[in-house]
Amino acid sequence: MLALLPLASLGAVTIVVANARPEWGWRICFVRATILCASYMVALTELLSLVRWVTQFGLFVAWSLPLVYVSWLGNGAVRRGRSLRWPKIALPRSMGDRLLLGSILAILIATGLVAWYAPPNTFDSLTYHMSRVAHWAQNRSVGLYPTGIPRQAFMSPGAEVAVLQVYVLGQSDRLVNFVSWFAMIASLVVVSHLAKRMGAGPTGQWFGAVFAAALPMGIAQAASTMTDYVLAYWS
């Protein structure tokens, strides 16, 4: 599905960063890759808006470029006798840590199912989160437009720009809830790393991730187009 192109590009960039800086560890490489992809997303959206080319084809071409670049790097590495490898992720070894991971997966699966089957239906989503996305898609630009709901014009647009990519590439709102859902996963990665930086061992890091995943407001927003989890990740 074309709507998964941004995610595929993020994976490709993560591989490049992890191979360039293996000493960082996979979590830092992932965070750095999200920063690069988010910056790229904002820049391409603004540039495409100048010529009203925020279309399925325009975004397809733009998000294909990182994949082409990584393929070129991979081909060059193979010719030099090397290969680009996915960063090594340490899985839990003890039964307790595995139970903690299972708890996280249960929450992610439950919220993921809701995100898949339930269309955006919260008050904020209907009044300005998805409304502004629909206007942008119609205008093929993120420029200002006449509206009777001022929030659509002045609220920070970062999360909705990400939703716009999925909405336009997929030509539907089927996957738009997964922007917040993915931001939840990314936030759990950061929480576990912060726990490590504070001196926690593997079990403490898993506990930190479980605590964050179990936050009631987080669970409620992870399956919608609400923007708090996206904001939490970038904070």
Say yes or no to pLDDT of 82 above 90: no
- Is 25 in a helix, a strand, or coil? coil
Query: Alpha-carbon distance 143 to 50, whole Å?
Result: 9
What are the pLDDT digits (tens) for 164-200?
999 999 999 999 999 999 999 999 999 999 999 999 9
What letter does residue 119 receive in the DSSP assignment? P
What are the pLDDT digits (tens) for 25-61?
899 999 999 999 999 999 999 999 999 999 999 999 9
What are the pLDDT digits (tens) for 85-134?
777 787 888 898 899 999 999 999 999 999 999 888 888 888 888 999 99
Helices (H) and strands (E) counted in the chain, each on its own, are 12, 0
Say yes or no to pLDDT of 80 above 90: no
What is the model's pLDDT at position 158? 87
Determine if the pTM surpasses 0.85: yes
What letter does residue 88 receive in the DSSP assignment? P
Instruction: Give the tokens for residue 143.
Output: 């420029």
Residue at token pair 């470029």? 65
Half-sphere exposure of 7 (CA within 13 A, CB side): 17
Residue at token pair 């082409």? 68
